[in-house]
Structure formats: structure tokens, C-alpha cells
Chain A
Amino acid sequence: MADVSLRKVVKRYDDVEAVRGIDLDISDHEFIVLVGPSGCGKSTTLRMIAGLEDISDGDIMIGGDIVNDVPPKDRDIAMVFQNYALYPHMTVAENMSFGLRLKHYPKAEIKARVTEAARLLDITDLVDRKPKQLSGGQRQRVAMGRAIVRNPKVFLFDEPLSNLDAKLRVQMRIEIKKVHQKVRTTTVYVTHDQVEAMTLADRVVVMNRGRIEQIGTPNELYHKPATRFVAGFIGSPAMNFIPCRLEDVGGSLQIRLTDRIAFALPAARAARYNALPRTDKLLLGLRPEHLTESHAHHGPGIESFDTVLDVTEPMGMETLVYFGLDGTPVCGRVDPNAGATDGAPMRLAMDLNNMHLLNEETGVVL
């Protein structure tokens, strides 16, 4: 096991820069998830760590050694692919032991390792089957088993759950987490699914257009996003962005959303934003759970306003409500018993204690 470092790593395809200078330090035993929309360079980054892609510039280090020119087989890594990439002509046991057999490990040890990995992944009964006879979830386990028996320095996962149905995905997600808790091998995991990223990672790396937008624990990303991209990417339904500006009214700072709606900022927020030029075009970032039905009494920083709902989506434990503020679509989460109805007026409350303020042009969270 080892730590992994990326120093200003760049990948160019002809004229296109797929990865534009990535710096990342992954410590031993850590579970890192690279997440981002398709084409953000996350898979390319993973494949460069694996050695399946040459790097155009920068350095990649595994266990302190520069591995830029080391072929994949000598990097001591294991990889789990999206389509599992199981060898169709080999049994489960043969699949898992292929790498060891190539390295001429003694038969007894191969058998011991395969048995142990099969036990760990609960596929002991399947070791003599061919991949064709397995379900998607079982194939996924075998693919992980193949990685585990090698006992590598680093596990690499490339969207391993994308081919599974929703229910199985949740189950395998937990499975992967369990395995990591036992094995404790440094893991780099690529996904486009922010829920997977949040649930699995020690730290999440959000990537966009070949760059790292933010690195942080799931909680940090959720509560303290650094950019509009991260704020919008993490969390479902996504954060609302409402155009707004700051106004000074009688010595206190207030935020104006529409001609009709403006609220005084809570003291802590006012102090933080006071230095901002009043002319800047700003965005109010507010998660749907901070836009709820209004109650008779509210604590400080929670402000009520009236609106007319466009559409409501009852989800069971909550109801999502959609409405417009000066043409900007906004989503809120209300109690299912709050009486939200399509097309009906409703009084909602905004929790400004959890607000974010963003610069509309730069996308930076202020």
C-alpha cells in the first residue's frame, strides 16, 4: 500500500487538453473519489495513474517513486472496469488468479488467496463458473476479487457500478465500502454519480473541464462549496441560484431578489459580505431543503415570502415544490402535509443562515 501523488499532470490528445494540470496528494489507506460530468478528465486521470495512458506533462508518483514511464504491470496496481472486463473463457477462480499465475506464484498460495478473496466477497460458490453464468452484481464482485488477490499498492475503480441497476448499485456501494474497511488499500474511484462520491469517499475530488474544482470531505463539499460548479454538482435536487444584489437599507445590509422580495441578512452574513461592492452581479445559492413551508414563528435569519407554485412533486417523505422568481426556476422542499398544490399560492420560508453568495461572472463562492 502506498500514497499516490499527481504533480501538474497534463494529458493532451493532439490539440485537445483533456487534463490540464492536476495536483493531487492521496495518502495511504485513503479512499478518494474523482467525480464530475462526462468529459471532465476523471477517467483519463485514473487511466494515467494506471499507466494505460501516457502522460503528456507532469509527474505521477506511487509510493514516492515517479512511475511516469513504468508500464502498468510494474506499477503494482489493480483496476476494476465499468464493464468488469472479466476474461470470458476463464472461470471465476482463473479470472482472479490470472495475474498471479503470470507472475508464477506457487499454486498453494494462489489457491489460498483466491479462496480468501472469494470468502471476503461472498462468491465462494461461484469460483468454478464462467462469467457468462453470473449476474451483474456477481461479475462486479469477481472483478473486485481479481483486484484484491493481487494485493496491490493501489486500487483503481473506473465507474464500477454504472452497469448495475439502481437497487444493486446501492448494495454494491456498501459492499465496496466494507471491503475497503477490511483491506485498507489506497483507492482511487471514478464516478459521475455524486451520491456514490459522497457516500464512499474519504475525500472527494470534483473535476470539471480537465481541472480540479475542489478537493474536500463530502461534508466540506456539501456545506462549503468553493465554486458554482461544485455547489450545483453536489446535492440532489441541485442548489438554486437566484440572481440578487446587495442593498444598504438604514445601516443594515439586505439582499434583494426581486422588486417585491428583499430580506435583511443575518448579522454573521452581513459582516461577511459587507465589503462587497454593491454593484456586483451576485447569485444567491440556496439548497432546496433551506426553502421550506413558512411557520408562524421563525428564528433569526429565516424569512418568509409568498409565491405561486408551478408544479409540485410528492416524494413521500417530502414534497418538492417548483416556482419562479422573476423567471428563475426555484425548487423547495416542504412537508408533505403543508398543503402544496399545483398552481396554488403558498407562503415559503428561506433559511438565510445556510445561504451562499456567488459572483455571477466568476462563479466563485464568496
Chain B
Amino acid sequence: MSTLTIDKAGPTRKVKYGSMSRDRAWALRWSYFFLVLFAIFFLTPPLYMLITSLKSSAEISAATNPWWVFHPTLSNYVELLTSNQFLRFFWNSSIVAIVVVVITMLISIPAAFALARMKFWGSATLATGVFLTYLIPDSLLFIPLFKMLAVIQDVTGITLLNRWYVLLFIYPTLTVPFCTWIMIGYFASIPKELDEAALIDGASWLQTLTRIFIPVALPGLIAATIFAFTVSWAQFLYPLVFTTSVDQLVLPVGITTTLIKGDVFNWGQIMTGALLGAAPPLIIYAFLMDYYIAGLTAGATKG
């Protein structure tokens, strides 16, 4: 095709020569230019977190150039990582997130398997219902849940409010619907013949699930796990409502409520705490980016 263009264009119309590739080169240059601008926009807050976290209180209040660290120090990190209170937040967050992931998987995987493969009365409705549940936001439920917990506490005498473990069964309401939904998608994409082969090979439904479906749908499982973990780790409203004592707080609430107190904000520590709080999801993302993105897009494309 390019030779054709050259022949026809001749010397007088040299302008046309290679116009496709030249257009593309320009498009690429402009793309890079704008991408740099957007990258600055998107990365400024996390970078600013990092910059501030390396500053001493003195340097922050001296109001020098905020975008530069003149006397880098790790004192903020040392202080937080040796503070029992901060470690407590971190511990609470970790245990909640990990247990919620386990609970989510224990509920989602069997349910998704049943909904994807074992057609039964009401299964289609239930699948749609799961999807709609995913659309119900936390800000709609925190008040009735708060009241429910209070009532249960009054009736049974079991302390539920202001206890971190209450989050263990509240968080799954956020993670289970989405994880079930994407696992239905992954399971449904496994050819029907595969479970029929397993059935003929003598596998029970449970064996089909554990020995065929779970290994085959492992990428989906990882995506769902990442989702459940990040949602649990980032959840802010429920712990803010349900927990108040310092030793019961998870990280996001702990940092926002205990480090921001009084009139003088210790911004160096706040930014350090925020950065440390953002670290686990960022690390997971850095190593499992493809699964993360697969999970993200799977939810919507299957809607």
C-alpha cells in the first residue's frame, strides 16, 4: 500500500508520503504530553504524603517550599511504628481484613458455584438479587445496623457496639455480593463438559468444586480476594459508627480520629500514618496488578 502511495504522489505531492506513520508519531507525542500532566494530577497527593512524612514538625511549621524536603528524617516512621496505639490500629485492620476475606470466600465460592452450575428454583432471581445487593451503599445501612446492634446488645447482653469484631460480620455485606457476582462469571465461563467429565469420573459436587472449579477459576479467586481485602482495609463509615474506643479502632478511623485532635495537627505523623495505611493495598496492587484490574473490570462487564 505504501509503495502505491509513493508512485501516485510523485515528487510534487511529497506531503502525502508516510502521513499515516507521521500522524501516529504526533499522536504518540501528544499522548505522552497529556499523560504526564494527568500523572502529575493523579500522583500529587500520594507523593505529597511521602514528602511530608519525611519532614520534621519544625520544617513543616517553618513554611519553606512544601514540595521539597530539606532535612529528611524518619522520625515520624519511628514514632508511629513504636507507638502501641498505631500498631494496635494496624493489627485490628489486618485481622479484620484477613478474617473478612476468609469469611467472604467461604460464603461466595459455594454460592457462586451453586448459582452458576446448579439451576434450582429461584436461582436466577437470587443471582440478580446478589447483583442488586452490591448496589446498596453502606451509607444507607449504617443507621439501621447501628440500631440493630444496639437492640441485640440490650436484649442478649452481648457487647457488639464498640468492638472491632463486629466488623467481621458487617464487612461481608460489602464484599460478598461483589465477590459472588464475579465468581459466578468466572464459574459460568468454565465449559459445562468439564463438570460432566468430573461427574463421570466419580466426583461429587463438592469434589467438582474443590478439585476442578476452584483451581480452574483461580485467577478469578485471586481477583475476588484482592477486592475483599482492599474493601475491608479501606472501609471507613462502618468502623467510624460502630467503634469508638481507641483500642477498638481500625486504621482509617484511628488515623483520622486520634491523630487529628486539638488545634495543632501533626501533619508529619498524619501523612506517615496515611502512607502506612495505604501501603498494604498498594503493595498488593504492585504485585498483582493484572488480577486487580481483572476483578475491577469483570464486575462491570458482566453487569
Give the interface of A toward B (CB within 8 A): 50-52, 71-73, 77-79, 81-85, 87-89, 98-99, 102-103, 146, 150
Contact = CB atoms under 8 A, between A and B. Distances in A.
Contact of B202 (A85, A87, A89, A102): A102
Contacts of B211: 98
Interface string B173-191: 0000000000000000001
Contacts of B152: none
A79 B196 CA distance: 9
By secondary structure, the A interface counts as loop
Contacts of A79: 196-197, 200
B166 interface: no
B200 A77 contact: yes
Contact of B196 (A84, A85, A88): A85
A102 B197 contact: no
Interface string B207-236: 100011001101000000000000000000
Given A88-B216, A89-B215, A102-B207, A83 B193 contact: yes
A85 B191 CA distance: 7
B27 interface: no
Contacts, number: 57
A52 B199 contact: yes
B199 to A, nearest CB: 5
Contacts of A51: 200
B203 interface: yes
Given A52-B196, A87-B216, A89-B216, A98 B201 contact: yes
A84 B193 CA distance: 8
Contacts of A78: 200
Contacts of B216: 87-89
Nearest to B203: A102
A37 to B, nearest CB: 22
Contact of A99 (B194, B201, B218): B201
Contacts of A87: 194, 197-198, 212, 215-216
A81 B215 CA distance: 21
Interface residues of B, number: 17
A365 B29 CA distance: 76
B148 to A, nearest CB: 43
B203 A73 contact: yes
Nearest to A80: B197
Nearest to B193: A85
Contact of A81 (B197, B202, B203): B197
A73 B202 contact: yes
Given A88-B216, A150-B201, 18 more contacts: A50-B196, A52-B200, A73-B201, A73-B203, A79-B196, A81-B197, A82-B193, A85-B196, A85-B197, A87-B212, A87-B216, A89-B215, A98-B198, A98-B211, A99-B202, A102-B202, A102-B203, A102-B207
B156 to A, nearest CB: 45
A89 B197 CA distance: 14
Nearest to B197: A85
Contacts of B198: 87, 98
Contacts of B199: 52, 71-73
A75 to B, nearest CB: 8
Contact of A83 (B191, B201, B207, B215): B191
A92 to B, nearest CB: 14
A85 B201 contact: no
Contacts of A102: 201-203, 207
Contacts of A98: 198, 201, 203, 211
B196 A103 contact: no
Contacts of A85: 191, 193-194, 196-197
A83 B191 CA distance: 9
Nearest to A158: B193
A106 B198 CA distance: 20
Contacts of A77: 200
Nearest to A78: B200
A103 B207 CA distance: 12
Nearest to B190: A88
A88 B194 CA distance: 9
A98 B212 CA distance: 10
9 contacts: A52-B200, A72-B200, A81-B193, A81-B196, A85-B191, A87-B216, A98-B198, A99-B201, A102-B203
Nearest to B192: A85
Contacts of B202: 73, 99, 102-103
Contacts of A81: 193, 196-197
Contacts of A89: 215-216, 218
A321 B241 CA distance: 86
Nearest to A89: B215
B35 to A, nearest CB: 35
Contacts of B191: 83, 85
Which are the 5 A-B pairs with shortest beta-carbon distances?
A99-B201, A85-B193, A73-B202, A85-B197, A89-B215
A185 to B, nearest CB: 15
A103 B201 CA distance: 9
Between A78, A98, A146, the greatest number of chain B beta carbons within 10 A of the residue's beta carbon is seen for: A98
Contacts of B212: 87
B45 to A, nearest CB: 41
Of A50, A73, A103, most B-chain CB atoms within 10 Å: A73
Contacts of A99: 200-202
